[in-house]
């Protein structure tokens, strides 16, 4: 099948490549760019393990063609780590509150939570549960995921930072505890 040229920004870096019109974004990310944080859990948009952030929206990359996002700005969980390599606030809080077990849903969870906190910096428990309902977890029962997101919101608000992307390093996270 003939291939098309695609160009997009992924985690702040310009990338380009050749892809078939039918190539799914998740496969382009995982196989061409070797960004394997987003996972494939269902291939039908139900589980959310493949969630990435595209131009400020949470999107399930298992049902998105890479051709559809030509020119877009894509963020995956890899892009939510601090520039110095330390864990971003959400990543740290998921660890702190035991918000993950097998880790398979975690990249999608954290990426979705990142957007949720942009959409609503002060979510109630109900807001978090509703806002995360597109991401399934088989291990945790969500209770600690909700705690982790709530703690992240508190921490981000305390630091008056709009996003975990530019946020604080490990030392500040520890200082806030």
Partner 1 sequence: MNDQTLTPEERAANLKGMGSSRKRVEDVRFTQGKGNYVDDIKLDGMLFGAFVRSPYAHARVVNVNKDAALAVPGVVAVLTAEDLSPLGLHWMPTLAGDKQMVLADGKVLFQGQEVAYVVAEDRYIAADAAELVEVDYEELPVLTDPFEALKSDVVLREDLEGQTEGAHGPRKHHNHIFTWEQGDKDATEAILAEADVVAEEMIYYHRTHPCPLETCGCVASMDKVTGKLTLHGTFQAPHAIRTVVSLISGIAEHNIRVISPDIGGGFGNKVGAYAGYVCSVVASIVTGRPVKWVENRMENLMSTAFARDYWMQGKIAATKDGKITGLWCHTTADHGGFDACADPTKFPAGFMNICTGSYDIPTAYLAVDGVYTNKAPGGVAYRCSFRVTEAAYFIERMIEVLAIKLNMDAAELRRINFIKADQFPYQSALGWEYDSGDYHTAWDKALKAVDYEGLRAEQAQQIEDFKAGKTRKLLGIGLTHFTEIVGAGPVKNCDILGLGMFDSCEIRIHPTGSAIARLGTISQGQGHATTFAQIIASEIGLPADDITLEEGDTDTAPYGLGTYGSRSTPVAGAATAMAARKIRAKAQMIAAYLLEVHDDDVEWDVDRFAVKGAPERFKTMKEIAFAAYNQAIPGLEPGLEAVSYYDPPNMTYPFGAYICVMEIDVDTGEWDVRKFYALDDCGTRINPMIIEGQVHGGVTEALAIAMGQEIAYDEMGNVKTATLMDFFIPTAWETPNYTTDHTVTPSPHHPIGAKGVGESPNVGGVPAFSNAVHDAFRPFGLVQSHMPHDHWRIWRIANGLGMHG
Residue 162, interface with partner 1 (CB under 8 A)? no
Q: Which residues contact residue 143 at a Cβ distance below 8 angstroms, ignoring those fewer than 6 apart? A: none
Task: Count CA atoms closer than 13 A to 27's CA, side-chain side.
Answer: 13
Distance CA 78, CA 25 (A): 16
Q: How many residues bind partner 1 (CB under 8 A)?
A: 60
Nearer to partner 1, 128 or 155 (CB): 128
Among residues 58, 61, 140, 152, which is the contact residue for partner 1, using CB under 8 A? 140
Give dist(CA 87, CA 80) in Å, integer: 8
SS3 5: strand
3 binds partner 1, rule: CB under 8 A: no
Determine, following the binding rule CB under 8 A, whether residue 42 of this chain makes contact with partner 1. Answer: yes
Q: Based on the shown chain and the rule CB under 8 A, indicate whether residue 91 belongs to the binding site for partner 1.
A: yes
Taking the C-alpha atoms of residue 66 and residue 172, their distance in angstroms, rounded to an integer, is 37
Q: Which residues bind partner 1 (CB under 8 A)?
A: 20, 22-23, 27, 30-31, 34-44, 46-47, 49, 76-78, 80-81, 87, 90-92, 94-96, 98, 100-107, 110, 128-130, 132-146
């Amino acid at each position: 099948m003939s291939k098309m040229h695609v160009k997009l920004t992924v985690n702040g870096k310009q990338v380009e490549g050749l892809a078939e019109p039918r190539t799914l974004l998740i496969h382009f990310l995982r196989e061409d760019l070797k960004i394997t944080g987003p996972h494939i859990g269902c291939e039908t948009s139900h589980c959310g393990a493949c969630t990435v952030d595209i131009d400020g929206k949470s999107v399930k990359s298992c049902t998105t063609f890479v051709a559809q996002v030509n020119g877009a700005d894509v963020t995956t969980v890899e892009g939510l780590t601090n520039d110095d390599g330390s864990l971003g606030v959400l990543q740290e809080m998921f660890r702190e509150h035991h918000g993950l077990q097998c880790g398979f849903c975690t990249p999608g969870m954290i990426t979705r939570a990142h957007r949720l906190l942009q959409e609503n910096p002060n979510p109630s428990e109900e807001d978090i549960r509703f806002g995360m309902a597109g991401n399934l977890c088989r291990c945790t029962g969500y209770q600690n995921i909700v705690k982790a997101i709530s703690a992240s919101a508190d921490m981000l608000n305390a630091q008056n930072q709009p996003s975990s992307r530019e946020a604080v390093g490990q030392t500040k996270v520890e200082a806030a505890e």
